[in-house]
Amino acid sequence: MSPLRSLLLSRSAVDRDGERRTDPGLLEALWADPATRVLRVRPDGSAPLRARAQGSAEPAALELVAPGDVARALPEPGPVVYLGREEDGTAHVAVEVPDDQEVADAAGWPVRSGDEEWAGLRAVAAELDDRDAGLLVEAVGVLNWHRVHPHCPRCGSRTAVTTSGWTRTCPVDGSEHYPRTDPAVIMAVVDEDDRVLLAHNALWPAGRFSALAGFVEPGEPLEAAVRREVLEEVGVVVGEVEYKGSQPWPFPASLMLGFTARASSTGVRVDDVEISDARWFSREELAAAVTSGEVLLPPSTSIALRLVEDWYGEELPARPSW
Ligand SMILES: [Zn+2]
């Protein structure tokens, strides 16, 4: 297996340091330490970027600040999440801040003003270094979970943030709840003539084509999910499947598991619900369609593009993207 090239959201340079999360005083101690770095994230997944001179070619980097620059006291009830520490010991925490966070209020939130540039992963992941990309993927993933799972699934009570932001605990029945990740398979389907099958989603603007993908169902192995999704969406029968790599996709909670799948039939019958068009491309046909702009491939942040390039054998020609 050749690993996929440059999965931009699979990078990291920070040890998640899971053992330390169970220290009940950890977040308070880190918030009192001016050396701690805080990553602020808005509900839309955007984070502040370090100021750059106008027109500067400098790549984007996250603006990480001291706790005192965010709020005087540890924000309660949070969530505040311990993300881990760097080799030099620098500890990182993430906190969700409101959209209008430039307005300082009596709760002590926040000190920083609204002239910062905020951006999300889709916009800046390609520019961020490994540390910043890993921090933002981790923070967005776990904060998304907190936002949509505030209540106990057993009794409906509001749960409390515990384990330095990595669990929620029900105050009524004591049940503990863990962040969710939803596995999804994504596959470059290739036929006997070595053509690749790309599909157009019914909701996309004209010209966009990508690899087929879908969520894994409960009780289903990954290989079966690949075969089921391809059959459902385009009516193609798949035999052998080969795992190629994975990338978190925290929009809001997916883990994309990438495969190459060998088709044993080539007749395409789209489901017309999710998929409205699907075509086989030879390498020459795809290169020509991308160059002419007839086909727009997914962005460089996606594992979909890396799967297509893995089949193609190299980077595709320079192209307009989504
Ligand atoms: Zn409960």
- Give the per-residue pLDDT at 72: 83
How far apart are the CA of 184 and the centre of ligand 1, in A? 29
The tokens 């709840």 sit on which residue?
177
* Short-list 135, 131, 169, CA closest to 152: 169
How far apart are the CA of 124 and the centre of ligand 1, in A? 39
The tokens 């086989």 sit on which residue?
280
How far apart are the CA of 175 and the centre of ligand 1, in A? 6
How far apart are the CA of 176 and the centre of ligand 1, in A? 9
- Give the per-residue pLDDT at 104: 47
What pLDDT, in 10s, does the model give residues 8-48?
Answer: 999 999 999 999 999 999 999 999 999 999 999 999 999 99
How far apart are the CA of 161 and the centre of ligand 1, in A? 13
- Give the per-residue pLDDT at 173: 98
- Give the per-residue pLDDT at 103: 44
How far apart are the CA of 152 and the centre of ligand 1, in A? 5
Q: Does domain 182-312 have CATH number 3.10.450.50?
A: no
How far apart are the CA of 170 and the centre of ligand 1, in A? 5
* CATH 3.90.79.10 boundaries in the chain: 182-312
The DSSP H or E segment spanning 123 is helix 121-124
How far apart are the CA of 98 and the centre of ligand 1, in A? 27
How far apart are the CA of 158 and the centre of ligand 1, in A? 8
What pLDDT, in 10s, does the model give residues 59-79?
Answer: 999 999 999 988 888 888 779
The tokens 């007839």 sit on which residue?
294
How far apart are the CA of 22 and the centre of ligand 1, in A? 21
- Which parts of the chain register pLDDT below 70? 1-2, 100-114, 318-322
How far apart are the CA of 144 and the centre of ligand 1, in A? 20
How far apart are the CA of 278 and the centre of ligand 1, in A? 46
Q: Side-chain half-sphere of 130: how many Cα atoms within 13 Å?
A: 9
